[in-house]
Structure 1
Amino acid sequence: MLAGIGLAIGACACFSALDTTTKAVSPFVPLLMALWFRYAFQALATTAVVIPLRGKRVLRTQHLPFQLLRGVLLLVSSLLAFASLRFMPVGEFTAIVMITPLAVTLMAATRLKEHVSPTRWALVAGGFVGTLIIIRPGGEAFTWASLLPLVLVASNTWFQVITSQLARTEDPLTTHLYTGWTGTLIATLGLPFVWTQLPDPWLWAGLGFMGLMGTVGHFLLVLAYHKAPASALTPYLYSQIAFSMLGGWLVFKHLPDGWSMFGMVLIAICGAGGAWLTVRENRRFA
């Protein structure tokens, strides 16, 4: 269990490093070009490691359409993330994205017709209140770009739902491979139209670092889920908010204001509370 928690926290640190680097390079690199580097690195590195270990049988899937749809949804989510980070601080962006588990609960109730307890409804409401506090529609700091993370939450919610369905029958490494290659191939189609010569070596280094952090982060997360159940790991995934705040301070000298900090804490508490309820329910029906 402790090994799984440590791996999950390490994955969160990698994802925060990815987001911080993305914000640093995004003003100078076309979005699709940066996205291609991130996916191509992950797809090639994963293939180089997995195929020699597992052979071509790892490519077998019973649900190819859903594997491809999952890859498209993650690509859309990544594109929205890259666009959002052009306009938003890393910490605030991360906090909004972390309402995804609460949004999954909302979808389970409205679309999948699953029973949701009043306590869960309260946690969902609290998470969305925290989001509104960060965005503050009508406030001086509000811009329409602040709504991009909410669109990202919607696409990421569908991504999570499909992931949970595939996890019942599919090898996680198979899913990981298909997701990486789907994003890479789609991004490659548009790459000739956006390719730009980058004048500074640090931009190339930044793109490589983004690919490395994305690959290592997802790999650590896969290992974490092999060491501990998802319900036990979920509260620790909110450490990504703290890592993102640290990255924003170190690189951009930005710290959230008091209201944003309150909203971020509210989201973390509600999300962790939802994970705690899941653990308790699993124990009750075990």
Structure 2
Amino acid sequence: MIQTQMKTEALMGPVYFVTAGALFAGANTAVQGAAMRYGVPSPTVAFWQYAIALLAVLPIVRGVSWRTNRLPMHLLRVGLAAIGVQLWVAGLAVVPIWQAIALILLSPLFVTLGAGLFLRETLTPTRVLAVTLGGIGGVLILAPWEDAFTWAALLPVGAAAFWGASSLVAKRLTLTESAESLTLYLLVLLVPVNGLGLVGAGAFIPGEALWLVALSGLLVAGAQYLLVRAYVVADAAYLQPFDHLKLPLNVGLGLVFFGFAPPGLMWVGAGVIILASAWVLRDESRERFIPRVQT
């Protein structure tokens, strides 16, 4: 009985996580469409995206209590996420989308290291090797040895670090907080923080771009909820190799909707990432248990 439950957790954690990544990829594509085709400033899109996401999750979190003994942890999580959002938006202004997504692949490295150091999760050889292979795939895609590489690419790296830290805080909060509560706190607090970006960009969105912004908000709402659900049922370090799948998801949608085909090494790197993620899922699903957070 316990073995069956733990095998189910080993499967459902990645399912939630990968589905969240697919929704985030759709949101990124919608944001890119609003910015590239209709010229909506990125800070404006970010504000309305999370405002709409908040409205979308209200029916889900209706009746969820605001009472918590861990408000500082909620604030820390939102603060880290907000910095990550701003660095990501700034990076997209100067870095090609496929390259920015490749750099975000560094996030699992930050999360896995932090999970071992701060959450005391077991870092199995499978997890470490899978994440390392994913990192190698990311380097192949990034190709830092080429002239196209610039120091501005460090902006997405910074976003990866802060989002990774935010994920670690979210994992710690799942010990006492529900997925609904975590989603509610994140979206409610992110909206006013993102609103600071409207000072220079303005809040206006052209009518023809409204559906794209609204779609991005709905997709982000679903992605945030599923992301928390993944951390509820599985270790943070175990989930991180599956984060690499965001690259082919984002690039694939970009190719379909914008006709952008990245360099050939991207496909090599993506193949390494997918194989690493599939391998860790097959290996960990055979384990009798998933090491849990020690308290």
TM-score after normalising by structure 1: 0.80
Q: How has the CA–CA distance of structure 1 residues 79 and 229 changed in structure 2, closer, same or farther, with 3 Å as cutoff?
A: same
Residue type matched to 2:31 in 1? T
Q: Secondary structure at the match of 2:261?
A: coil
How much does 1:135 deviate?
2.0
Matched-pair contact (CA < 8 Å) for 1:19–1:85: no
RMSD over aligned CA atoms reads: 3.3
CA distance in 2: counterparts of 1:235 and 1:111, whole angstroms: 19
The aligned residue for residue 160 of structure 2 is 153
Matched-pair contact (CA < 8 Å) for 1:61–1:174: no
Matched-pair contact (CA < 8 Å) for 2:26–2:250: yes
Residue number among 22, 34, 39 corresponding to 2:45 in the alignment:
34
How much does 1:280 deviate?
5.3
CA distance in 2: counterparts of 1:170 and 1:145, whole angstroms: 37
Residues 96-105 or 107-116, more deviating = 107-116
Asked whether 1:69 is paired with 2:76, we answer yes
Residues paired across the two proteins, number: 280
Q: How has the CA–CA distance of structure 1 residues 272 and 77 changed in structure 2, closer, same or farther, with 3 Å as cutoff?
A: farther
Residues 121-130 or 41-50, more deviating = 121-130
How much does 1:37 deviate?
0.5
Matched-pair contact (CA < 8 Å) for 2:122–2:291: no
How much does 1:206 deviate?
2.0
Residue number among 33, 46, 65 corresponding to 2:57 in the alignment:
46
Q: How has the CA–CA distance of structure 1 residues 79 and 223 changed in structure 2, closer, same or farther, with 3 Å as cutoff?
A: same
How much does 1:186 deviate?
1.4
Matched-pair contact (CA < 8 Å) for 2:170–2:228: no
Asked whether 1:173 is paired with 2:180, we answer yes
CA distance in 2: counterparts of 1:225 and 1:120, whole angstroms: 16
Q: Secondary structure at the match of 1:26?
A: helix
Matched-pair contact (CA < 8 Å) for 2:17–2:230: yes
CA distance in 1: counterparts of 2:143 and 2:19, whole angstroms: 31
How much does 1:170 deviate?
0.8
CA distance in 2: counterparts of 1:24 and 1:65, whole angstroms: 36
Residue number among 193, 201, 208 corresponding to 2:207 in the alignment:
201
Asked whether 1:245 is paired with 2:254, we answer no
CA distance in 2: counterparts of 1:120 and 1:9, whole angstroms: 17
How much does 1:180 deviate?
0.5
Q: How has the CA–CA distance of structure 1 residues 166 and 285 changed in structure 2, closer, same or farther, with 3 Å as cutoff?
A: closer
How much does 1:134 deviate?
2.0
Residue number among 3, 7, 22 corresponding to 1:13 in the alignment:
22
CA distance in 2: counterparts of 1:193 and 1:72, whole angstroms: 21
How much does 1:151 deviate?
1.2
CA distance in 2: counterparts of 1:225 and 1:165, whole angstroms: 9
Matched-pair contact (CA < 8 Å) for 2:91–2:100: yes
- For structure 1, the 5+ residue unaligned runs are none
CA distance in 2: counterparts of 1:5 and 1:267, whole angstroms: 15
Asked whether 1:130 is paired with 2:137, we answer yes
Residue type matched to 1:67 in 2? H
How much does 1:242 deviate?
2.9
Matched-pair contact (CA < 8 Å) for 2:134–2:272: yes
Residues 145-154 or 93-102, more deviating = 93-102
CA distance in 1: counterparts of 2:47 and 2:291, whole angstroms: 44
Q: How has the CA–CA distance of structure 1 residues 204 and 285 changed in structure 2, closer, same or farther, with 3 Å as cutoff?
A: closer
